[in-house]
Structure 1
Amino acid sequence: MGRTVVVLGGGISGLAASYHLCRAPCPPKVVLVEGSERLGGWIRSVRGPDGAIFELGPRGIRPAGALGARTLLMGGDRSQTQHSFARPEPSAGASGHSVEDWRGCPRPLIPT
């Protein structure tokens, strides 16, 4: 009889845990339990009228070291190509402000 692993929560941590469990050499049956109607937790991506994707949740991640490199590789496993862009410096969060000035910055390009 195979193993079954129950992952509680469909936020980014629960999704990452499920992802890595499914890629294990002898993957268990993975059951993801989420209490809300959508996955993602704090991450809340919405599609604009022209198809552009906007993130209304966390502004980004700060990958560091081997764990950060693995985090970035996990995003690259998707079949869809994704482009990223840099935000203006300094960060509004780092300076204590609540709004960043994005004028003149390239718009994020995410295929639809």
Structure 2
Amino acid sequence: MNKINYFYPGLPVSSNSLLPFSEMKIPRAENADIEVQLVASVIFDIPDISNIRYEVSLNDEPPFSVGNFINGYKNVLDGGNYATSIIFKFTLNDVNPKQTSTFKLKIFDSKGSFSNDMETTVLFF
């Protein structure tokens, strides 16, 4: 079982908060650059998570963040499973009011086979 426990956009990077949000007011009328952070928690059934890969994409485009999980940042759960959290920080360029952005997190097992995915959407106004 390699599955995403949660995946959500956190408040802007400058707020230093991981509170979830689904709507965000942009500071200008159009073409704003917005800092976004995505927060995820993933549960694993194996202790070595370094060969488990993730991909993050925006609006079904090719992934903008790809990598492997790090063994040093995991917790042991009751029942023998493992969990880790990860935060992705980036800037969305040219954001306009009434625009939505849908982010998708995918995870792949150590053999490269698809395991699980989850989406989250932000509305800008």
Structure showing greater radius of gyration is 1
Instruction: Give me the TM-score of the superposition, normalised by structure 2.
Output: 0.24
Q: Relative to total residues, which structure has the larger helix share, 1 or 2?
A: 1
More strand per residue: 2
